[in-house]
Amino acid sequence: MKDRQTAFSNPGCIALAQTPAQDINRLRRTVIEGVKNGNHLLALFLLPAENNGTDELFAVLGDIETRRLFIMRAPVQNSYPSITVDLPLAERFEREIAEQWGVVPTNHPWLKPVRFHESYRQEHHAQPQGMTDFLQPGVMDFLKAEGDEIHEVAVGPVHAGIIEPGHFRFLCHGEKILHMEIALGYQHRGVEQALIGGPDKRTIHYMETLAGDTTIGHALAYCQALEALSACEVPLRGQALRAIALELERLANHTGDLGAMAADVGYSPTAAFCGRLRGDFLNLSALLCGNRFGRGLIRPGGVAFDLDVGLAAEINLRLTKIYQQVEQAVDLLWREPSVLARFEETGVIDKMLAVKLGLVGPAARACGIEYDVRVDFPAGMYRQTPIQVSTWFTGDVYGRAFVRWLEIKRSVNFICKLLNNLPDGPTAVDPGEIAGGRIAVSLVEGWRGEICHTVVTDERGRFRLYKVVDPSFHNWLGLAMAVRNEGIMDFPICNKSFSLSYCGHDL
Amino acid sequence: MLKVFLTRIRQGYHTIAYPEGPLPELPPRYAGRPLLDPGKCLAGCRTCVEVCPVEALSRDDSDALRLDIGRCLFCRACETSCPRQAISFSRDFRMAAASRRDLVVGPEPERLAQALTSETRRLFGRSLKLRQVSAGGCNACELDTNVLGTIVYDLGRFGIQFVASPRHADGILVTGPVSKNMEQALLATYEAVPAPKIVVATGACAIAGGPYIDHLQTCNGVTNLLPVDLFVPGCPPHPLTILDGLLRLLGRIKA
């Protein structure tokens, strides 16, 4: 196809001027048909006009068959025909564009606020007239139903546990959830806007805190994008250490989630063991760089800390021991009928729906979707040391738990393989100058799923736009669909099985 | 059931001995309380001040170097950039303080958090219930606060517990820079806690705004909104730093 002539592999960049520009109707058609043919919509955003130009709508797509990424753009005026009408997975992207720039996707089913902030352009907003005068977090139209025994349950933004803020509105018939609506935006702290004009000395810290539990994932996506822009090749040893850190992050979070899922069904042995073991994995990351979340490790050009023979052996030894204990702790789950009774056939998403919603990560793989950035768009060490995709077919809480367990096993194997064959040489190189007038895309399979960073640079190589798509951005609607027709008491376990990020979504 | 007992035996005991026992060992690369050696500073040198991403370092007219650990992200950019090794990060995790001023490391001797007044200690010393409010950060502080509930730290043994409702709480533990979208919810939660009540600001964000300092969308932490009784620095603070701070506040650790 002509649109794909400028395709590149992950991570990569092309000159902004080379990006195929087309008419909005054609872009719309290409995106819709592309996704129907199995391409992934990685990002959809608006690049605001510069000096009397026109706003442009950008779509970033990934073609799994050819392992190539491609970008399209189309000029838009104040509105354009909505893509969501034909492609529900574009729903949140279009709401975001409307909220940020006041560019309205016409016929979009429901343009609710995403993060409850004012429009980036004064006097230019998509909400009904007067609405922005009192734009309050969580104040929006919620779905209604009427009848005997129909009632609403409102939860949040301050929750009962130690978790991030969000507001959930359950529409119930007795104890059965008819529908759950999610209002996020409470964690909005203006990160994407603060990145414009960068990179500067604070940029890497924004990346490491986009979502604290995905410090390595987001920092890596950023560094890959920067390296694509400066044509920098990270030395093999640096690539290996990055991959080890990324898998350690996955191990800690997956183990913690399995423990929390056990806790949510009242099974305390696994909950207690896994809570502790999660910390043991975090302490391995701290051995690498001093910080349990991996802060300070990933830097443009490579990694900031090396691993000597002694430390590598120590990590290898501890990892094997922790893994054995995780195996014992998780094994109890699969043997306990009362746990399985709560896990199985709860919160089911079938494969068709998962594709329609554009789910990513373990939530998608639990429905039988074989998609993993590490395999489908491999970068760095994953090109040389492949890792197997973990899938299951049930699409329920059990499936999402089981896929995590499979991934734990494979990540441990992968790390051991790398630790035993660490390439020699330097861990980092000078990343060099960032090219101007370009657009770069970088993908990483974080523990929650596909992370996509898109950067547009100005002529001087400064960030003109920085777009972050956290996997949660794709998956929140999945949770809302999963709890339909479930008992309201099963919401916590469904929620935990998705384990989504609020801050990664709110930015 | 037998399998559960067997696993329990195999997993062993993991609760740390702190504060009665020895200080727990932290990884060699851990960055704890910073140590300044202003004697090594070059006259007029401002390298560390300039590389700091959050303006935690300052050098005044008398050339005295000061590091505000309330702002510090512990990224070590200052340590790496210093041509004379005048700044280093120790492995000491004890950093919590009762007043904002005590977080500024400089020529003066350090002051760790002190116990509440005898009246409040009588009220909270044996049983402290806290409501946690997450207000716009990155979730790392929340995660490492949650860790206090695991068997490793076993917060319950000190009579400290996180509760589900502010009405059941003696105070709130705030994380995050307080996004504008969370400001009202935070204040409402504080109002719902019966007096006398305490406020704990955990992490660089809650103390001063963290990496989001001076963003229009945040309030630069809880310090400007509520009276804070305990400041726990770090990005995020190590669970031990939080535990140590809470225990000092209650007068359970004196030294």
Q: How far apart are CA A97 and CA A403, in angstroms?
A: 33
Distance to chain B for A33, nearest Cα, Å: 37
Reported confidence tier of residue B63, pLDDT bands at 50, 70, 90: confident
Please report the residues numbered 267 through 326 in chain A whose beta carbons come closer than 8 angstroms to any beta carbon of chain B.
Answer: 269, 272-273, 275-276, 279, 283, 286-293, 295-296, 305, 325
User: What confidence score (pLDDT) does residue B125 get?
Assistant: 82
User: What confidence score (pLDDT) does residue B111 get?
Assistant: 76
User: What confidence score (pLDDT) does residue A128 get?
Assistant: 55
Q: What is the pTM of this model?
A: 0.96
Cβ distance A186 to B216 less than 8 Å, yes or no, reads no
For A205, list phi and psi in degrees, rounded to 5.
Answer: -75, -35
Buried b (16+ CB within 10 A) or exposed e, A246-255: bbbbbbbbbb
Which residues are CB-neighbours of A181 under 8 A, at least 6 positions away? Answer: A142, A143, A168, A169, A171, A480
Which value, in Å, is the radius of gyration of the alpha carbons in chain A? 22
Q: How many CB atoms lie within 10 A of CB A34?
A: 22
H or E, element range at A313:
helix A309-335
Query: How many residue contacts between A and B have a Cβ separation below 8 Å?
Result: 173
Distance to chain B for A22, nearest Cα, Å: 36
Residues of chain A with pLDDT under 50: none
Residue among B195, B205, B207, B202 at smallest CA distance from B249: B202
Residue A209's closest chain B neighbor by CA?
B138
- Within 8 A of A286 by CB-CB distance, chain B residues are 26-27, 29-30
Q: How far apart are CA B171 and CA B189, in angstroms?
A: 10
Tell me: the pLDDT tens digits for A35-44?
Answer: 999 999 999 9
User: What confidence score (pLDDT) does residue A125 get?
Assistant: 64
User: What confidence score (pLDDT) does residue A141 get?
Assistant: 86
Distances (CA, A) of A419 to A283, A312, A319, A415, A473: 17, 6, 11, 6, 33
Is A474:A449 a contact under the CB 8 Å cutoff?
Answer: yes
Q: How far apart are CA A259 and CA A275, in angstroms?
A: 6
- Number of H helices and E strands in chain B, helices first, is 8, 10
Is B95:B113 a contact under the CB 8 Å cutoff?
Answer: no
Q: How far apart are CA A222 and CA A224, in angstroms?
A: 5
Distance to chain A for B158, nearest Cα, Å: 18
Q: How many CB atoms lie within 10 A of CB A334?
A: 13
User: What confidence score (pLDDT) does residue B41 get?
Assistant: 87
Tell me: the pLDDT tens digits for B216-249?
Answer: 999 999 999 999 999 999 999 999 999 999 998 8
User: What confidence score (pLDDT) does residue B24 get?
Assistant: 83
Mutate: best of A119, A120, A159, A162, partner B, most B CBs <10 A: A162
Residue A296's closest chain B neighbor by CA?
B75
Residue A274's closest chain B neighbor by CA?
B150
Residue A323's closest chain B neighbor by CA?
B11
DSSP A304: S
DSSP A391: -
Q: How far apart are CA B121 and CA B98, in angstroms?
A: 14
- Is the previous residue joined to B236 through a cis bond, with omega within 30 degrees of 0? yes
User: What confidence score (pLDDT) does residue A356 get?
Assistant: 96
Partner-chain residue, chosen from A202, A211, A269, that has the shortest CB–CB distance to B211:
A202
Q: At what angle do helices B2-11 and A309-335 cross, to 10 degrees?
A: 160
Q: How many CB atoms lie within 10 A of CB A178?
A: 16
